A and B are shown apart, each in its own frame.
Chain A
Amino acid sequence: MSIWSIIRKEIAHNRGNFVIGLLCIAVALGLVVGSVTLLAAHDINTEQVVDAKERETREAMEALEDDYRMMMRDMGYNVLVLSADQSIDELRMHGAPNTYMPVDYVEALSTGGIENLNHLFPVLQQRVTWPEKEREIILCGTMGQVPNFEKPQFLNDEGMYRNPIREAIPAGAVELGHDIARAAGVAEGDVVTLFDEEFTVQRVHVRRGNEDDVTVWCDLAKVQEWFDLDGQINGILALECVCHFEEFGLVEQEVQEILPATQVMEFGTIMRARLEARARAEQMHETALDQEIAYRGQLGEQRQGLVRILVPVVLLGAAVWIFFLILGNVKDRQGEIAVMRTVGFGEGKIMGIFLIKAALMGVAGAVIGYLLGITVGAAWEGIVFWSPEFGQLINPALIGLIMIGAPALAIIAGWIPAMKAAQLDPAVILREE
């Protein structure tokens, strides 16, 4: 028989006393672990909530971007790249540019890595009289859209636009604006004569309310031939796809980096308004997110404050409880202690009996309290026992602290009663009849 079996047998015999002490520590540590777990769970949940909100914002913004892209595409070209020496006044007066650029320019843009321009559409426009119809028109030679290779997402397998704004016009065909077609009395499928050559009208455009309505489109090579402008164009229409307000106006700079001898005309007041609306929407999302973060931060701080008060109070309470429990145990066992002293038990052994008992209470209470606390604390924040998030809550440092701290607390609380036991005067007890 050893001191251990004495302790073990006393605990087994006096189960109630031990269980009360153990439960007291378990409840105290349960509260401590529970509140620490609650805080950790709160942080995890905050992270998740914020992540979700951020994702939501991002998705909303992306959806908005797609909407704008579609809208802008539907609004048609909103940028015109011109030769640097083109006078805008003259352009307005003529209805067409009167300075020229090599057709290679469009090639340069399409491969130059430009970010914000799409659907490049080189044109050679001339304001002329249609001799056969005796009408002023804008004659527009085109070779179709040239892809911007920086934006492969809009291209099909052959490197062409999936949804082009304009198609190339084959030799021998023309397209007519709404007004000129009507004035000339021409419909789709008719054959018309233009500069002594016959063309099939493959399409009559709907009315757009701008110079397109008096435009006749045909193959670029034909116009170059008629006006002796081999290899020349005088404009590149394009779709500026600005999805961020801050990027507005950057396009000229971007183009001039590739083609210094050009200028860029942007015509997009509606676009500007849309971008402003979009910026406001983004701002609103961000404000909502900031509010959520602030709210959760405040909640976390409130809880932290509570924990800072709760933890010491609860630990002190547990210590006081253990103190009285061990003290009562010592009182109950006075005769036993006295007789142990007479048969040769030293003060150290007597003290050890009570301190080891207290420490065992601490260890057992710590195990139960930990399991209790982590389960309840997690459940409070809606984290299910043994879920992946639950794994994040298991804190080895906390476990270590508790497994050492709980027995230490119990030993400190039991120290004075144990000392009283050791210093008990056996004569005082044994003299009594």
Chain B
Amino acid sequence: MTENAVLRTEDLSKFYGRTGKQVTALENVSIQVEPTTFKVIRGPSGSGKSTLLLAAGGLLHPDAGRVLVREEDLYAFSPGQRTVFRGQNIGFVFQQFYLVPYLSVLENVKMPGVALDIPDLDERAAGLVERFRLGHRVDHFPSELSTGERQRVALARALVAEPGILLADEPTGNLDMENEQIIVDCLREYARNGGAVLMATHGLRTDGFDQVYQLKDGKLQE
């Protein structure tokens, strides 16, 4: 257990439903992601991957345990503080890209700047758009993009605030093999350059990741 982990969960548990039919989505899950690492949570559908990522990202209050991002206890913050902290330190990408349909590619990437003070927003956004090979698409709208391009826009948006950790929930679930490879390469590059990635996947590929957590019925498998 290293002290410099950018993300750490301690005995995280989450139960859905109230009395009677209670579903255990997570049970005593402890993981950690250090800077420059690219880690994967693997598990079948319904195993609790999304629940883990949402709880780790400060979007879902766990029923037990703690989440520490850069040594800050996420759920000790007030909701307002947590929102700002999340915006500054945690990036998200999802299987569905959740792009804003009425904003262009560049505007989607810069969108977090409306909520947060992001230094050098224009330069960063321009740099990300170039890096993800979207330079010729800046003025296009999401509906005019391929799915691969859309996920790259979502990824650029997640990284524009330069968060310490990126949480990716099956980001390649809607993509073909070629685009999946592009996205995974982008994530790996981001991790290598000082970031950190925790990606949920139900795929079988495990090669090339720093660590693979196996999740089954909300419990980590050894």
Contacts and interface: CB of A to CB of B under 8 A. Distances in A.
Interface stretch (B26-34, B106-114, B130-138, B178-186): B106-114
Contacts, number: 89
Contacts of A432: 96
A431 B102 contact: no
Contact of B83 (A6, A10, A345): A345
Interface stretch (B49-57, B63-71, B191-199): B49-57
B102 A13 contact: yes
Contacts of B59: 341-342, 426-427, 430
Interface string A412-433: 0000000000000011001111
Given A335-B96, A344-B84, A427-B54, A9 B102 contact: yes
Nearest to B88: A344
A79 interface: no
B26 to A, nearest CB: 12
B206 interface: no
A12 interface: yes
A431 B98 contact: no
Contacts of A152: none
Interface in B71-100: 79-80, 83-84, 86-88, 90, 92, 94-96, 98, 100
B98 A343 contact: no
B91 to A, nearest CB: 8
A203 B151 CA distance: 126
Contacts of B173: 433
B83 A433 contact: no
Interface string B137-162: 00000000000000000000110010
Contacts of B113: 1
Contacts of B86: 342, 344
B115 A336 contact: no
A2 B60 contact: no
18 contacts: A9-B103, A339-B100, A341-B59, A341-B83, A342-B90, A343-B111, A343-B112, A343-B116, A344-B86, A344-B88, A344-B116, A345-B115, A349-B115, A427-B54, A430-B54, A430-B59, A430-B98, A431-B54
B4 interface: no
Given A1-B110, A10-B102, A433-B173, A427 B161 contact: no
A400 B86 CA distance: 44
A340 B170 CA distance: 19
Contacts of B88: 344
Interface residues of A, number: 28
SS of A interface (majority): helix
A340 B102 contact: no
Contacts of A426: 59
A340 B54 contact: no
Interface residues of B, number: 38
B98 A344 contact: no
Interface of A: 1-3, 6, 9-10, 12-14, 335-336, 338-347, 349, 426-427, 430-433
Contacts of A335: 96, 98
Closest 9 pairs between A and B when the two form their complex, measured CB to CB: A344-B87, A13-B102, A343-B112, A344-B115, A339-B98, A427-B60, A345-B115, A427-B59, A344-B116
B107 A1 contact: yes
A342 B57 contact: yes
A344 B54 contact: no
A340 B60 CA distance: 16
A341 B111 CA distance: 11
A286 to B, nearest CB: 69
A336 B88 CA distance: 19
A344 B161 contact: yes
Nearest to A10: B102
B45 A344 contact: no
Contacts of B127: none
A99 to B, nearest CB: 112
Contacts of A3: 114
A6 B111 CA distance: 9
